[in-house]
Amino acid sequence: MKNMILSLALFGTAAGVVSANDDDGTSWVVLADQVYTADGEVYEGGFVAVADGKITGVGPGGGSGGSELDVFAVTPGLIDLGVRITEDPDVLEQSTETSITMRVAHGLDLFDLAWDRELRSGVTTVLASAPDNNVIGGLSVAIKTGGEPTLEARTVKADAVLRGSFGTQPSQGNQQSRGVPQNFYVRRPTTRMGVEWEFRKAFYDTIAAGRFPERAFEGSDVLKRVLDGDLPLSVQAWTTQDIRTAIYLKEEFKLPSMFVDAAAEAWKEPELLVRSGMGVVLPPFSFDGRVGREGAFFAWNTAKMLSDLEVPFALSGHGARNASERLAYQPGLAMRGGLSLEAALEAVTIAPARMIGIDDRVGSLEVGKDADLVLWSGPPFQPTSRVIGVMLDGHLVLDPRETNE
């Protein structure tokens, strides 16, 4: 233990020295055998130049203008739309089933070590959503996993998505009323159709509120934005049943921008997905095919299928418990199902960024975008490779020179 403390202390001083040399560690040139820009380009032997937290240059050959890092491969920072970083009771609003206007951002504990864990595993931006125990959980925030621990500093897009959930989870714990309710779990909904109804009702009321202003209610403005397509709707739907419900909902209310999260059984009725133009976020792969608390069945080649059908989709870590489930490895497993490396790359970078409209800042290696980079010891996403470096807004939060011994 003594040694540990010493190493800490020495590390402290070392860090001081480093940052003193690298002109404040704000400008870097990352040289890599493989540069995956995620905007179509892959450079064999290229560079990424970074200054003041932004990407100032990408291309083949070498760049200059900062301290140099030499690694095997570099990809954009990974984006996880399904991260379960908020799954603790503090951010679970039980008083209502449709907490539409609730901002999960205000429930986030930015000092939780989970953020750092995500960051060190290469995930630089996440969509933090309310836990799915409410039918409509509230407004999710697109947020960086590191940086100054303030909402201002970390938020990429406030109110990025309205989050809802299908299936049995939202009705879990609710009980039929027998006589006078004893506790607040005695309430709607108790079935999945009840859950679905809560959804529909919310939208019916909103439409009504559109016609008769006096019928406006808390959150109707938000749902209005969803109906207008200004605000994407994300719905958790593990099983075919739920996915189908989501699709019908989308088509019934003509929701322009909507995607299903944790859609393990998306493979079962692809034609419906294509018809609805719905986006899809997939859960982590499992070797026995069983995922989620409803035991949905997740086929290996789902991602491949979606990519062939040109359904917009993203992969997610979805609260990965152990290293092998982390988002960084999911593309590799998707490739096991036949997905191409390019498609797999986009599914954890630019694709999710587009889904929630933050692709102007993150998701690919382009000049002017945030300097969120993941540095790899080998071919990205293979279990045989390792995330040896992570850069967030130009700050080297995981230093390949330290991890790569």
Partner 1 sequence: MTLRRIPMQYSMQSTSQLFSRGAHQALRVSLFGLALAAVTSTASAMSPGGDLVIEAGRIITQAGGEITDGVIVIRDGRIEAIGAADEVERPWDLNVVGGPEFTAYPGFVEAHTSGGMDRANESIDVAPFLNIRDSIDPVSFFFEDVLRNGITTLGVHQGNNCVIGARGMVVRPVGRTVEELMVIGEFGLKLSAAPKSGSSRATQAQALRVAFDDLKSYLEDSVGERRYDGDKAKREALYQGRELDEEESKGRAMGGTAWKVDGLELIPRGELDVKQRPLLELVEGNYAAFIYCGAPMDVHLALEIARDNGFLHRTTLVLDNSCWKAADIIAEAGVSVVLDSAMTHIERDPYTGKEIETVVPRVFADRGVRFALSSNNASSQSLWYQAALANGLGIERSAALDAVTVIPAEILGLGDRVGSLQVGFDGNVVLSSGDPLSTTSWVEAVVVEGEQVYDRKTDARNQHLFEGQTPPVGKQSSMSQGSTGNRR
Partner 2 sequence: MRNGLGRALTAALALTALLAPLATAGEVVLRAGTVHAVDGSGPLKDGAVRIRDGVIVEVGANLVAPSGAKVIDYGPSAVIVPGFVAADSVYARGRASKRTAAPGLSALDGFDFYGQYSVALSHGVTAAYITPASGRLIAGQGAVVKLGGVDPGRRVLSSPATIHGSVRADARSVPGFWEPPIPPTVEEGLGYAKPQLPHSLMGAVLALEELMAGGEQALEAYGPRAASDLAALITGGTTWRLGANSVEEMRALLELSAQNGMPLVIDGGLEADVIAEELAAAGARVIFQVPFTANAPVRSWGQGEDSYWPNMSVPAELAKAGVDFAISHSGSTADLLFTARLAMRGGLDAEQALRAITLAPAEFLGAADRVGSLEPGKDADVLVMNGEPMAGGSVVATWLDGELAWSAQSSGGQSAGSDKASTKSSVVVIEVEELHIGNGQVLRPGAITLRDGQIVDVGSRVSRTAGAMVVRGFAATPGLIDAYGFLGLEGSKKSPAADFPMSRIVGPGDELDRRVALAGVTTVVLGPRGRGRAGLPMMPYKPAASSSARQVIADPITVRVDWTENNRLQSGQNVRGLLEKATKYVEGWAEYRRKLAEWEAAPKSESKAKSKDDEDEDEKDEDAEEDEKEEEKDTKKKKKKKGEEEPEPFPVTGIWEGMLVRPPFAEETSIRIQLINDAGEVEGSIRCSALSESLIQVTGRFADGELRISGLGSQGWVELIGTPKQGELEARVLVGESEIEFEAKRTRKDVPRASRPAASKLDEEADEPKGKPRSPKFDGKLEPFRRAMQGDGTIVVSVDREDEILACVDAFEAAGIRPVLYGADDLHYVADKVADRIAGVMLDYRIKIHDREKGLTFINRYAQIANAGIPIAFHSLAEEGAAELPTHAAYAVANGLSAKSALRALTSDVAAMFGMEDRVGLLQVGMDADVVLFDGPPLDPGSSVVHTWVNGEEISR
- Residues in contact with partner 1 by the rule CB under 8 A: 4-5, 8, 113, 116-117, 120, 267-268, 284, 286-290, 295, 297, 299-302, 305, 321-325, 332-333, 335-337, 377-378, 381-386
Distances (CA, A) of 343 to 66, 307, 339, 360: 32, 7, 7, 20
Distances (CA, A) of 282 to 6, 193, 232, 350, 404: 44, 23, 17, 15, 31
Q: Which of 35, 66, 196, 263 forms a contact with partner 2 (CB under 8 A)?
A: 66
Give the residue among 29, 34, 24 at the shortest CA–CA distance from 377: 34
The yes or no reply on residue 122 touching partner 2 (CB under 8 A) is: no
Q: Applying CB under 8 A, which part among 116-124, 126-134, 263-271, 337-345 lies near partner 2?
A: 116-124
Nearer to partner 2 by C-beta: 63 or 164?
63
Shortest Cβ distance from residue 218 to partner 1 (Å)?
Answer: 39
Return the one option of partner 2, partner 1, none that residue 26 interacts with (CB less than 5 to 8 A, by type).
Answer: partner 2
Q: Applying CB under 8 A, which part among 279-287, 314-322, 374-382, 396-404 lies near partner 2?
A: 396-404
The yes or no reply on residue 25 touching partner 2 (CB under 8 A) is: yes
Nearer to partner 2 by C-beta: 6 or 274?
6
The yes or no reply on residue 162 touching partner 2 (CB under 8 A) is: no
Q: Are 253 and 223 in contact (CB under 8 A)?
A: no
Contacts of 273 (CB under 8 A, 6+ apart): 243, 247, 266, 280, 306, 309, 311
- Report the distance separating Cα 372 and Cα 365, nearest Å: 8
**Helices 240-252 and 192-211 meet at what angle, rounded to 10?**
10
Q: Applying CB under 8 A, which part among 164-172, 242-250, 337-345, 358-366 lies near partner 2?
A: 358-366
Q: Pairing relation of β-strands 233-236 and 155-165?
A: parallel
Q: Are 139 and 162 in contact (CB under 8 A)?
A: yes
Q: Which of 397, 401, 403, 404 forms a contact with partner 2 (CB under 8 A)?
A: 397
Return the one option of partner 2, partner 1, none that residue 24 interacts with (CB less than 5 to 8 A, by type).
Answer: partner 2
Q: Pairing relation of β-strands 373-376 and 387-392?
A: antiparallel
